[in-house]
Structure 1
Amino acid sequence: MSDMVDELACEIGRLQQENEQLRVDAARYNWLRNRDLNTISQGGVFAGMTPENVVLNEDDLDREIDAAMNSKDEAGS
């Protein structure tokens, strides 16, 4: 019984670490997603797409990321 408790405690710790990393990743993405479209002219970090050379944010950024991920998945990568 003690071994089972130890294994569960270990798994809980692992899941807590994974959850924290996911929170950090989500916060990082949300920061980028909510950047002002004028960031490119003001300087700073932004998301863009080539060859169109456009700055993306919010729903447009989500849509382009989803499309690129789906395209990569369909190509077998």
Structure 2
Amino acid sequence: MIQLPCPWCGPRNATEFHHRGEVTPRPEVASVTPEEWRRYLYFRRNACDWVEESWYHAAGCRRFFKVRRHTSTNEIVQAGRVQ
């Protein structure tokens, strides 16, 4: 069982959450090219490494938060609130 540390509710079973994907910096809308925008929307690194992800606590507080997780071991080193 994977436990995720919700910043508001504490550690909970991963079945309570929705994975929203890897956090990537949003390009500047005024100067972005169509290719850069497509890459931002559809492509992710999918690395076997430490990744910063966004999660949504659907069965709890209904808030988004960030988690730094290793994709092969599911080890979590930090969790934080999304501003």
TM-score (norm 2): 0.21
Looking at secondary structure, tell me which structure has more helix per residue.
1
Pair member with larger Rg: 1
Looking at secondary structure, tell me which structure has more strand per residue.
2
Which structure has more relative contact order (CA 8 Å, sep 6+)? It is 2
